[in-house]
Structures are given as C-alpha cells and as structure tokens.
Amino acid sequence: MVGRLQGKNAIITGAAGGIGLETTILMLREGASVLMADISEPALAKALAKVKEVVPSSPRVETIRCDVSKEADVAAMVSTLDSWGGVDVIFNNAGIMHADDADAIETPEKIWDLTQNINVKGVWFGSKHAVQSFRRHGKTKGSVINTASMVALVGAATPQLAYTASKGAVLAMTRELAIVHAREGFRFNSLCPAPLNTPLLQDWLGDDKEKRFRREVHFPTGRFGEAIEQAHAVVFLASDESSFVNATDFVVDGGLTKAYVTPE
Ligand code: NAD
C-alpha cells in the first residue's frame, strides 16, 4: 500500500517533544523521509531510539540539533535536505511556555523576548528557508504547518501573556504567508491544539489539583488531548489530501473553543 506521504521529505522541529515525536512516527509510517530537529541532543537521541523501535523499517530518518531562534541553525537544517531532493513539508512545531511567563505586570522582559524568539522568529525562519528550498528545487507544491495554540483564539484568565501573544503572531503570520505564496502552490496552515498530555503542559501543572481543575472543567470531552491526535491532523495537512486547505487555523481541541457550558 502506498503511504499518504510517499516520496515526501519532511522536517519536524521540536521533534523530540510530545507532538513532534508522534508526528515523526506517523509521517514515517505514511512513507515520508523525516529530518527530526530539536535543540536538545540527548532528547533527540532518545526520540530516535523510540522511532527505530516502533518503525523499524522506516524509509529515512535522521536527526539534527537546531535552535530555531538562530537563523544559521535553521538554514543548515533546511539545506540538509538539499541532497534528499529538497523540502516538501516543514512542521514548525518547536515552542516553549516558560514557567515565569505570567500577566502584564509580572512577566519578565527577558522571558517575553525568549518566547517571541523561539515561538515567533523560529516559525518565521522555518517558513522563510522552506520557501527558499521549495524554489531552489523547483517544487510546484509544498506544505508548511506552524504550531500555534488554542490560546491564540480564546482568552484565558490563567495568563501566559508572552506565550499567548506569540501564538497569535503565528496565526497572523501563517495566514499572510499562505496568501502571498498561494499561486506558487505553497500552502501554510496553523495547528491550534488544546491543552495536551505532553511534558510542555503536564510538567508545568505537576500535582497542582487546583490548576488542573481550572482547565479540566472547560473540556467538553472531560480530558486533555493526546499528542497523537495532533499528529493525525498534521499528516492530513502535510499530505496532498489537503491540497485545497490553505491559511486555516486548524483547530484540534475536542470542541473546547466552541463550548460555553460543558457536560457535568
Ligand atoms: P514539548 O515540550 O513536549 O516539545 C517541545 C520540543 O521543542 C522539545 O523537545 C524542546 O526541546 C523543543 N525546543 C524548545 N526550544 C527549542 C528551540 N529553540 N529550537 C528547537 N527546538 C526547541 O511540547 P509539545 O506539547 O510537543 O509542544 C509542541 C508545540 O505545541 C509547541 O509549539 C507548543 O507551544 C504547542 N502547543 C502545545 C500544547 C500543549 O498543551 N502541550 C497546547 C497548544 C500548543
């Protein structure tokens, strides 16, 4: 059976984390060749071992250390795929939610800058170098998926102002990129996950029952999302099945952003 991503070369940033790793596994299963990029080399090594265990006959999977906030790193990451035939898909997924991120009064400026550098500038660099690679290799189609968040769509009284602002920027930037490059066949969509069972959020929530309840009460489904549920959406956006899906805020949230009163 031919995979849904057969013949495509994909880059995934934040590939050692929750969503990135699940997406790597699914993309390989669908026949893509994948370059896993992350800032943490030990985490990448662990993630690669897991990938090799669950997809032993994967077509091609490699890792690269990349800090997405550094343009030279992103350029090197993207040009790695020149010898593979160029990029077809990039999933700009690396992001942080810093423990010191708070409201307008308490958020330290250095945390604001760090968050924008990784979550916004990282997505810009990834998008920019992907477009350059698409053009260099004469691609008539390409798919860029940028991870935003549900908090870019609805306000929360549990503030993480730098994070929320960064994800709003991802939505606006992705939308504009989509329109600018539409006639070249390059698609840009944002992924908007709800709160998930991944280290990014769960480490931060820890054993704090009150903090958890503040969130769980709003879930129509009564649970956090799973990374694999995001990965399935990313595979769709990466594949040609979504050829007419462009500039969307692709929301995968169990109905959270559409809910007023949730079931008891
Ligand atoms: P995660 O913390 O499990 O993974 C994030 C990965 O990004 C980590 O492996 C980390 O090492 C890497 N990373 C951090 N800074 C980097 C940098 N400068 N360059 C390259 N890699 C870097 O988190 P996740 O839940 O898989 O999150 C992935 C994306 O999903 C993030 O953009 C996050 O904001 C977004 N998101 C997560 C949730 C959630 O509840 N987990 C909800 C909405 C959106």
Question: Is 260 a catalytic site residue?
Answer: no
Provide ipTM, 2 decimals.
0.99
Please give the full DSSP string across 84-97, using - where no structure is assigned. Answer: GT--SEEEE-----
Fill in the DSSP letter of residue 263. Answer: P
Name every residue whose Cβ is closer than 8 Å to that of residue 225 and which is 6 or more positions away in sequence: 193, 194, 195, 196, 197, 252, 253, 254
pLDDT digits (tens, 9 = 90+) for 59-74: 799 999 999 999 999 9
List of E strands, 119-252: 142-147, 186-193, 249-252
Question: How many Å apart are CA 170 and CA 145, to the nearest integer?
Answer: 10
Orientation of helix 18-29 relative to helix 227-238, angle to 10°: 50
Q: What is the pLDDT of residues 24-38, one digit of tens each?
A: 999 999 999 999 999
pLDDT digits (tens, 9 = 90+) for 106-131: 999 999 999 999 999 999 999 999 99
Q: Kindly give the distance from the C-alpha atom of residue 15 to the centroid of ligand 1, in angstroms, as a whole number.
A: 8
Tell me if the pTM is above 0.80: yes
**Which strands sit side by side in the sheet containing 9-13, from one edge to the other?**
60-65, 33-38, 9-13, 89-92, 142-147, 186-193, 249-252
Is the shortest distance between the CB of 225 and ligand 1 below 6 Å? Answer: no
- Active-site hit among 163, 188, 224, 250: 163
Task: Kindly state the average pLDDT of the residues 244-253.
Answer: 98
Q: What is the pLDDT of residues 173-200, one digit of tens each?
A: 999 999 999 999 999 999 999 999 888 7
Measured by CA distance, the residue closest to atom 18 of ligand 1 is 67
Residue pair 154/170 in contact (Cβ under 8 Å)? The answer is no
Pocket test for ligand 1, best of 11, 12, 13, 19 (most atoms within 8 A of CB): 19
Q: Whose CA is nearest to atom 3 of ligand 1?
A: 17
Distance 95 CA to ligand 1 centre (A): 4
How far is ligand 1, taken at its centre, from the CA of residue 201, in Å?
9
Q: State whether the beta carbon of 96 lies less than 6 angstroms from ligand 1.
A: yes
Query: Band of the pLDDT at 213, cuts 50, 70, 90?
Result: confident
Does residue 201 have a pLDDT over 90? no
> Which whole number is the average pLDDT over 82-92?
98
Structure tokens given for 150: 């549900």
Statement: residue 1 has pLDDT above 70: no
pLDDT at 203: 86
DSSP summary character for residue 231: H
Is residue 166 predicted with pLDDT exceeding 80? yes
Whether residue 166 has its Cβ less than 6 Å from ligand 1: no
Ligand 1 neighbourhood includes 142 CB (under 6 angstroms): no
4-22 per-position pLDDT tens digit: 999 999 999 999 999 999 9
16 Cβ inside 6 Å of ligand 1: yes
For a mutational test of ligand 1's pocket, the pick from 200, 226, 228, i.e. the residue with the most ligand atoms closer than 8 A to its C-beta, is 200
What's the pLDDT score for residue 86? 98
